[in-house]
Amino acid sequence: MKARVTVTLKTGVLDPQGKAIEGALRSLGIDGVDSVRQGKVFDIELGTVDKAGAEAALKNACEKLLANTVVENYRVEIL
Q: Are 35 and 73 in contact (CB under 8 A)?
A: no
Fold of 2-78: Mth169; Chain: A , (3.30.1280)
d(CA 10, CA 55): 21
- Return the pLDDT at 28: 96
Query: What secondary structure letter does DSSP report for 62?
Result: I
Predicted confidence pLDDT, tens digits, the chain (79 residues): 999 999 999 999 999 999 999 999 999 999 999 999 999 999 999 999 999 999 999 999 999 999 999 999 999 999 9
- Return the pLDDT at 20: 97
